[in-house]
Amino acid sequence: MTRHLSDLLADVRSGTDPGPFALLRREGTDLVEVLAGTAHQVDRLADIPLPPGPATRPATLAVVPYRQIAERGFACIDDGAPLECVRVSAYQQVPVATAMAALPAAPVVTTRGGFDITDDEYAELVATVLRDEIGGGAGANFVLHRTYRARLADGASATADGQGRSAALTAGLSALRRLLRDERGAYWTFLIYTGTRVLVGATPERHVSVSDGLAMMNPISGTLRHPDGGDPDLDSVLSFLADPKEVDELYMVLDEELKMMATVAEHGGQVVGPYLKRMSRLSHTEYLLAGRNCHDVREVLRQTMFAPTVTGSPIENACRVIARHEVGGRRYYAGVLALLGHDDAGGQTLDAPILIRAAEIGLDGDVRVPVGATLVRHSTAAGEVAETHAKASAVLAALGLSSRSASSGASGASGAFGAPGAVPAPESGVAAPVTRPEHPTVARALAARNDRLAEFWLRQRSPGAMVEPALAGRRIVVVDAEDSFTGMLVHLLRALGLRVRIVAWEQTARVDLADADVLVAGPGPGDPSDLTDPRMVALRDVVDHALRRGQPLLGICLGHQVLADRLGLVVSRRQLPFQGLQREIDFFGVPRRVGLYSSFTAHGTDDLLSTAHGPVQLCRDAADGAVHALRGPGFAGVQFHPESVLSQDGLQILRELLTAILPPGAAGTLIRQSSAECGRAGTIRYGGSASRPTG
């Protein structure tokens, strides 16, 4: 069935309700897809309808609010925003130029525009989170949002003749036309009308997609504001690519999305990139992650709620921080749009961009443009305030609004670093190039980003190729202390041939851990000395029991800190947090480049420590005595994350430590996870036991 664009627009002009519909242009095409159908509200992602149907059109378009994160048990301010679906019954594709010629071109008139919290209030919020949350060990990065609010001048309350609905749709369609004309590099440029609201925007970022059984994610971070009227010059781009804040920001979200890929991809995913993504007013850096998926696409959505680029890391604690500090619910900001369907072979498909750089227009004339900034240890309050203005600028401009001059302070000549220079799309709707050959110097600067990263995540991996014979088939239990780095760790351990089981920290008192060949006290957020935190009490009990019975034990990050404390070392808060920091350390006489995510550390005054559990060798920082690693008879600990993409030799470090702490013995039978097991939402099994999902 076809519902023509002209019919929908005629209904809008006449004040008739056209029924739920969507117009969207996906990256790399010169077509606008027109979808129409019936509206449904569902409670859970698993309830999104995905009926069998032809591959010639999508089956369902879902609009997923941020509050859906509660499905994973994570904290949120519940604002009641519903999960809305449009079950597609009519589908059409039209050229962009044809759509633009049909869309209304009248200016959008609004009143009473402004952010819900002032620049000064947002700056104070940034400073508080940097000091208390990142500085206090709650996580590596956090995203806090604010919302630009305005009113449509002709957006009266919805009446019997549909005046409010018509005003909202006309404003949204006019904004869509301007975005199709002026924006470039967007993953989706879209308008969605659910029957209850209008969403319009140009999101730069794919969150997750599934096609041909391949799951893909697209972490984007780092923001370069363009000068008015063009692209930045070469020096500005190179300065941006070398900026430690921007580099660290992308590495942190890369690690965080690899954690998510670890739950939905059979072998954890492979990293491709980085690339420079140019839009009309901003440029970003991005990676692409890909891995073979064997889950229902609705489960993929659930396991990957929501992107670290709009929440933070580790994600569970990031959700707590967001709920503590934001002034209200996020509604649809940081959620996803999700287009579900089937391919020619009947396999499920998914295309889900992040819901950012968008406006929500209510049928009562209320306009909301939410926007956020990523806070990392290098952040400044003024810089993050400016970033929110810059990110909101394209959508605000499409609505005839401006928060202020978002590009002030940028410099450089237009088009100086590309070949050839890109220009905004002309009125005809013929799009500016989404990609173009990079300037050789820019290409080299981008490629250099990977020189010090872990090849484990950058290369295709053949099953069994990395197995360590001394470890093959040995049973290992990882205690998950609320950091989904655990999911990445599992893939490294399995690559070495170990049989892995994950046990959540709150389950440790009820599960027999003594039968494992090795016990791992895993990473997590927080202060290891805070015994009012039940997580710390549980980890301390795990470490104490393992030491008493002589069970081989490895502590990672938080687990290492607890182990160091039980061995008699002093653990204290760092003066400056090491969150998403790569450093080269002397790892027991061998230089190793590792990734650190911590605000606390153990300190030692000598390289050898005498303990009740035997002599312990310390790997210490020469400057301040911070303990990067320790090893003793049957146990070891590392302050860094060997599983991180920042730990260049992480796999080898795990190989060395585990073979050293394990007593010689017959290895078990190597068991590889089957495709059928992979369908169980990330459950890892050994010996017939199953843990909770690894996300």
Q: Which of 557, 619, 628, 678 is catalytic?
A: 557
Q: Which of 206, 216, 210 is nearest to 310 (CA)?
A: 206
Torsional sign, CA 522, 523, 524, 529 = positive
Annotated catalytic, 641? yes
- Dig out the tokens for 45 from the structure: 């992602």
Asked if 494 contacts 574 with a C-beta cutoff of 8 angstroms, the reply is: no
Annotated catalytic, 557? yes
Q: Which of 226, 482, 641, 678 is catalytic?
A: 641
- Helix axis angle for 234-242 and 440-448, nearest 10°, is 0
Q: Which of 33, 267, 643, 678 is catalytic?
A: 643
SS3 state of residue 624: coil
Torsional sign, CA 233, 237, 243, 246 = positive
Amino acid letter for position 474: R
The Cα-based distances of 241 to 237, 381, 566 in angstroms read 6, 21, 42
Q: How many Cα atoms within 13 Å fall on the side-chain side of residue 470? A: 12
Residues in the chain, overall count:
695
Distance, CA of 526 to CA of 421 (rounded, Å): 48
Question: Do the bridges between strand 499-504 and strand 366-375 make them parallel or antiparallel, or are there none, so unpaired?
Answer: unpaired
For the beta carbon of residue 376, count every other beta carbon within 10 angstroms. Answer: 25
State the Rg of the chain over Cα: 26
- Dig out the tokens for 168 from the structure: 């909202």
Distance, CA of 53 to CA of 342 (rounded, Å): 7
Asked if 607 contacts 588 with a C-beta cutoff of 8 angstroms, the reply is: no
The Cα-based distances of 644 to 66, 285, 415, 491, 557 in angstroms read 27, 19, 36, 11, 12
Q: How far is CA 690 from the centre of its chain?
A: 27
Asked if 693 contacts 683 with a C-beta cutoff of 8 angstroms, the reply is: yes
- Sole residue written with tokens 């006489």: 589
Distance, CA of 406 to CA of 386 (rounded, Å): 7
SS3 state of residue 121: helix
Distance, CA of 477 to CA of 545 (rounded, Å): 14
Distance, CA of 661 to CA of 425 (rounded, Å): 61
DSSP 132: I
SS3 state of residue 516: coil
DSSP E strands in 293-438: the ranges are 312-313, 336-342, 348-353, 358-362, 366-375
For the beta carbon of residue 464, count every other beta carbon within 10 angstroms. Answer: 11
Q: Which of 587, 607, 574 is nearest to 653 (CA)?
A: 587
Distance, CA of 370 to CA of 189 (rounded, Å): 17
Amino acid letter for position 412: G
Per-residue exposure over 128-160, b if at least 16 CB sit within 10 Å of its own CB, e if not: ebbeebbbbbbbbbbbbbbbbbbbbebbeebee
Distance, CA of 680 to CA of 266 (rounded, Å): 11
For the beta carbon of residue 187, count every other beta carbon within 10 angstroms. Answer: 24
Q: Catalytic residue numbers?
A: 557, 641, 643
